[in-house]
Amino acid sequence: MASSQEFVDYVCEQISGAGEISSRKMFGEYGVYCNGKIIGLICDNHFFVKKTAGGAVLLVEPEEAPPYNGAKAMFLISDLDDRDFLTTFIAKSYQELPMQKSRKKKARSR
């Protein structure tokens, strides 16, 4: 089951205080970005955030689950109503996550 655009928009609005939030459709689901850095995924109308030490402290008892079969477990964020908490959580997680490495284009062999 694919995620609805309404759910994606709601999640992005709820975490918008953490920075410039955007989403990108990926493989039928969505990647969620903060200031250009991927921080999580939305799959089957569930919000998953990459695991960080700071995020684990803020969540106290973090729920973890893989967003899809074969994926690494991520934090599953079930309570999306506390906007202030989500802003703090995403901002803290963002600080710990590395920037995505830019891919160098392979030289064409002739």
The whole-number pLDDT of residue 2 equals 82
pLDDT by position in tens, the chain (length 110): 689 999 999 999 999 999 999 999 988 899 999 999 999 999 999 999 999 999 999 998 899 999 999 999 999 999 999 999 999 999 999 999 877 666 566 656 55
Bridge-based pairing state of the strands 37-43 and 21-26? unpaired
> Which pTM value belongs to this model?
0.86
**Complete domains list, the chain, with CATH:** 5-96 (3.30.1460.30)
